Amino acid sequence: MMFYRYNFIFLLFLFSSALSFAQFSLIDTTFLGTNVDTVSSQAVDYKTRPGILQIETGERENLAKNRSAYIVYTGTQPTDTSRRNALRLLDGLYSSPSFIEFPPLNLGGLEGNYVIIDLQAFRTIKKVQMYTLGKNMNLRPRAFTIFAGEDTITMEKVFQATDNQAVEPVSEFTPIVAKYVKVVFDVIAQNNSTVISEIEVFGEGFLPTGLYVSTPRNIGKKVNFGSVQYTGNKPAGTEMYFSFRTGNKSSIDTSWSPWSDSVANSGDLFLVNEPRQYIQYRVRLKTSNLLSPEIDEIRINYDTSAVVSVSDAQISPQQAQVLKEQEFTLSINTEFSTSDYGIDSVYVITPSPVQLVDVLVNNVRAAYLSRVSASYFYIVFNSSIKTNSTIAIKFKSTPFLAVNPYRIMASSKLVSNNPQKIDSRISDQVEGWSVVTVGVPDKLIINPEAVPNPFTPNGDGRNDETKIEFFLGNIGEPGSLIGNQVRKLTIHIFDLNGRMIKELLNSETSAAAYISDNGVVWDGRDDNGEKVRPGVYLYQIHIDSDNGGETVTKTVVVAY
């Protein structure tokens, strides 16, 4: 959403002649009392330093829980692979079947087996606790050494037990800054396995993340929310993310909007259902070092007058064949009050490129300016719309996702810094402005082509580049994974002798439209930055999949 938001602001400044700022603000300078949702908030501290919101310290928090770990066996591994799954040591479960096993000497076990835990952030640690499965003395670690460090090569020995008699040994040591913890099992019993069900790591300093959630805040009337501002301290290596949801009731129910996409910078616009009377915000604080971000004021800006009082968007048809171009009509029904600013422009975020066909207002062709990009289109009307109207936007597009949303914002030139998100009713968990695709494409890589072809990379400013364009269809099954599952996508250029001369793309991706502005550009140069000779070349697109992957190879011509 960050890309779309900044493009939107740029276009508003480009097309609007007037600019005003949010008239009012909701300001929080204290994070105590009735303003905090204590049930939803976690790992944040707003009491130690009143008026300052920060992450909680981690002396009582298991820093290793749900992190990452692996095992290295110096001897024979257990034949049951589940018994060597190191992640079971960090899952918070202390009984069977959540354990790992080091076989005894008589079954091929050897001394020196070890576990490395990746805390995934730099922490100050001072204690490690291990749990023997079932508190069975025969299965306890006989002797062990603990190392810690900022990497896995230069680790420092922080604790050693040469004759452990505890089934839940606690190892305390001088605090050390570390990202990795290594537990080496120095002694393996002759006849009994060493079986560990959990390893915990504790420290001091701040936890990696914290979440602050406010209570629903009453503005007093329906308003058009705009941007968030905050003051505080954000040291290097720390982050803050804000998200919001809105409603017209003091208690949160299904009529409230979902949480918005998060924003990170003071002054960022956020997009929620509006106009609404109530708002709730949450702040996620993160650190990858020993410092915590701090917030001493949060300011939510809003306008008391709306762009439009009531709106509803829907698209027709709402069902379409997947990866087949079709014409759609996106309708916006509007109702205005006398205090509304009116609609001067609409901005539509698109899941795939569109070809704008026509714009009607109350069935009459409208006069407008437009700009169309691969991921949005923008329409500026020649005159403001201030009376109850139906805006119909006709366009052609190729839907490729299971659900293809066309999200809409409306803006007035009187408050061009604060667009208003248009409402869209939800039916069967799908918003009215979303196209649902039916059918299954035969292939994953659809309609690949190089545009233009031939192209002439001679530096004259015309056809100096070509774009490799294609649709990447649904790559996840079952349907619940579509749009979420990612696969490795590569694009390579070869000469006719089969020699690879350029790697254009090597990344992870989900279903996507590599079309128009999103196409993958080749400038006619090889991996050494040298211009290739004129002639015919091959471009090869490959996507990994469970059946071995899919590859498409086509030609592109370089001419001078």
Cβ neighbour number for residue 147 with a 10 Å cutoff: 21
- 111 touches 187 (CB < 8 A): yes
C-alpha–C-alpha distance, residues 381 and 15, integer Å: 10
Determine the CATH number of domain 445-558: 2.60.40.4070
C-alpha–C-alpha distance, residues 232 and 236, integer Å: 13
Q: How far is CA 178 from the centre of its chain?
A: 27
C-alpha–C-alpha distance, residues 245 and 179, integer Å: 36
- Dmax (CA) for the chain in angstroms is 89
State residue 22's pLDDT score.
Answer: 53
C-alpha–C-alpha distance, residues 404 and 408, integer Å: 13
Query: What length is written for the chain?
Result: 560
Collect all residues with Cβ–Cβ distance below 8 Å to 440 and sequence separation of at least 6: 322, 474
State residue 560's pLDDT score.
Answer: 86
Q: How far is CA 156 from the centre of its chain?
A: 36
> Closest Cα partner for 381 from 344, 340, 414?
344
State residue 546's pLDDT score.
Answer: 66
To which residue do tokens 């696969």 refer? Answer: 487
Question: Any idea which architecture 68-204 has in CATH?
Answer: Sandwich (2.60)
C-alpha–C-alpha distance, residues 227 and 275, integer Å: 14
**Which amino acid, residue 148?**
A
Q: What is the 3-state secondary structure (H, E, C) of 282-326?
A: EEEEEECCCCCCEEEEEEEEEECCCCCCEEEEEEECCEEECCCCE
Per-residue tokens: 157? 């020995």
**Distances, alpha carbon 102 to alpha carbons 64, 182, 241, in Å:** 21, 15, 43
State residue 536's pLDDT score.
Answer: 95
> Closest Cα partner for 58 from 160, 178, 237, 146?
178
Q: Where are the domains of the chain?
A: 24-56+209-303, 68-204, 310-438, 445-558
To which residue do tokens 């070349």 refer? Answer: 537
**Would the CATH topology of 68-204 be identical to that of 445-558?**
no
Question: Any idea which architecture 310-438 has in CATH?
Answer: Sandwich (2.60)
Query: What kind of fold does domain 24-56+209-303 have according to CATH?
Result: Jelly Rolls (2.60.120)
> Closest Cα partner for 551 from 477, 470, 432?
470
State residue 9's pLDDT score.
Answer: 45
Per-residue tokens: 385? 């719309």
pLDDT averages per 10-residue partition of the chain, 560 residues: 42 43 82 88 91 89 93 87 88 92 92 95 93 96 97 95 97 95 96 96 89 96 95 95 96 92 94 96 93 95 95 96 92 97 96 94 97 92 97 94 92 91 90 90 85 94 94 58 67 94 91 86 95 95 82 94
C-alpha–C-alpha distance, residues 192 and 132, integer Å: 13
State residue 306's pLDDT score.
Answer: 95
C-alpha–C-alpha distance, residues 62 and 48, integer Å: 21
- 445 touches 552 (CB < 8 A): yes
> Closest Cα partner for 473 from 449, 448, 443?
443
State residue 515's pLDDT score.
Answer: 86
- Residue 455 is given by DSSP the state B
> Closest Cα partner for 356 from 329, 382, 331, 332?
329
